């Protein structure tokens, strides 16, 4: 982190919350987001059907990492927690079609794009924390099992050891039940359903998303 550490206040700096949220939105753009917005926590769509998509058809990450279902926070837990929050910073990162599709030839670029999203989330969350919004937390995109530990046989956090990337890795938005497609479409940005059979020529662009729930 860089910059001043703000003292904790009971109202969590309500007087400069708006200014801070806009600073985090701008920071997301500086760090490589294609679009970023301040959104209300009540407008984050959490749907139990989203994590069903991790199971059917079964994703490689399902059950294989501490931040993926069924080990990640359940949508019902998140729905309850969000009732106590008001504001979040939501962003997307556009990715070229040939990078977003599951092709071994572009695996390095794909992992790098996902890592950028994790880094934006962790940087914004850290900024908010040191600004005194100490209950801020964030979610990234995809599975950290693939993005950070693809070269390893196991998720270390599931075998009783420390997560190899404790400060960077997080559940994805979708792993906790956030309907990312709906949320992106609702704010007027573009997103396309990209499954295992998608061909780059048929996709206008890939989209990764992240969110930091500030307070």
Which lies closer to ligand SF4 via its Cβ, residue 160 or residue 195? 160
Tokens of 180: 């990312």
Smallest gap from residue 128 Cβ to ligand SF4 (A): 22
Which lies closer to ligand SF4 via its Cβ, residue 27 or residue 146? 146
Which lies closer to ligand SF4 via its Cβ, residue 65 or residue 97? 65
Tokens of 75: 């949508």
Smallest gap from residue 86 Cβ to ligand SF4 (A): 29
Smallest gap from residue 159 Cβ to ligand SF4 (A): 9
Q: Half-sphere exposure of residue 193, counting CA atoms within 13 Å on the CB side?
A: 5
Which lies closer to ligand SF4 via its Cβ, residue 67 or residue 133? 67
Smallest gap from residue 147 Cβ to ligand SF4 (A): 8
Closest CA to 208 of 9, 32, 14: 32
Q: What is the 3-state secondary structure (H, E, C) of 6-37?
A: CCCCCCCCHHHHHHHHHHHHHHHHHCCCCEEE
Block residue for tokens 């989209």: 207
**Which residues form the interface with ligand SF4 (CB under 6 A)?**
65-67, 144-145, 148-149, 155-157, 163-165, 169
């Amino acid at each position: 982190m860089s910059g001043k550490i703000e003292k904790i206040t009971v109202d969590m700096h309500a007087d400069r919350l708006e200014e801070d949220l806009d600073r985090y939105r701008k920071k997301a753009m500086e760090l490589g987001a294609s679009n970023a917005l301040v959104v209300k926590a009540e407008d984050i769509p959490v749907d139990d059907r989203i994590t069903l998509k991790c199971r059917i058809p079964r994703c490689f990450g399902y059950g294989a990492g501490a931040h993926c279902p069924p080990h990640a926070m359940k949508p019902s837990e998140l729905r309850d927690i969000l009732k106590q929050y008001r504001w979040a910073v939501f962003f997307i990162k556009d990715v070229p079609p040939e990078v977003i599709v599951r092709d071994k030839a572009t695996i390095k670029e794909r992992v790098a794009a996902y890592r950028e999203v994790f880094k934006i989330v962790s940087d914004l969350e850290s900024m908010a924390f040191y600004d005194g919004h100490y209950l801020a937390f964030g979610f990234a995109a995809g599975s950290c099992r693939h993005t950070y530990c693809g070269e390893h046989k196991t998720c270390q956090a599931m075998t009783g050891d420390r997560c190899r990337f404790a400060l960077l890795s997080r559940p994805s938005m979708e792993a906790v039940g956030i309907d990312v497609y709906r949320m992106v479409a609702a704010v007027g940005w573009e997103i396309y359903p990209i499954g295992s059979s998608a061909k780059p020529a048929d996709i206008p662009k890939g989209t990764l998303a992240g969110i930091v729930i500030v307070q």
